[in-house]
Structure 1
């Protein structure tokens, strides 16, 4: 029996869907994740690089992303940050880092 997509896949899908709803569809350039654990929580650290045409909607979305809510099955998004932004002509490439925590 399949358990469904993992936290990394869910986060990627939610990120792309949220951007599309904000009027700035993204292209996924690269994505990686590593397992993470503390004394009380298990989860993963995610690094996702995306690209999109430069626009005021994209600028606003990137600025508001750290406060965004994400609905992932069996996981909470505990932290999101845009750590790198590169502008080249009419495109923007951004690196988004996130921490997801497994719900118990």
Structure 2
């Protein structure tokens, strides 16, 4: 399980992320792009990744919980969801085969919690 706070001063640019994040798991780079798409304030509360394979492909299955704060949280979540399946994610040696929002809930303090599932496949 991974938790990630994302100070804006430490953000890895998309151009340099391939060199900065060298891992067989594309999750760190996907998290960076998800947070950029959601906007501030937001927080990766939990992110898990496990190996996945079919007869023809191999990859990873990811489950991600994001907390979206701010008075415009609902509007930002709606913008995030709009066209999510068509986003061209930049993941070296991988591609996003499927990404969906599994659940959205609101806490009494007004924060929005969004749970995502994603399947990334190794690109040969």
Corresponding residue for 2:120?
A: 100
TM-score using structure 1 length = 0.84
Give the conservation status (yes or no) of the 8 Å contact 1:79–1:98: yes
Give the conservation status (yes or no) of the 8 Å contact 2:21–2:28: no
Greater share of strand? 1
Pairing of 1:13-28 with structure 2 (within 5 A) = 13-20=32-39, 24-28=40-44
Structure 1 residue runs of 5 or longer lacking an equivalent are none
The alignment of Structure 1 onto Structure 2 pairs a total of residues equal to: 100
TM-score using structure 2 length = 0.72
Aligned-partner Cα distance in 2 for 1:34–1:13? 18
Of 29, 35, 42 in structure 2, the residue corresponding to residue 10 of structure 1 is 29
Shift >3 Å, 4+ stretches: none
Structure 2 residue runs of 5 or longer lacking an equivalent are 1-19
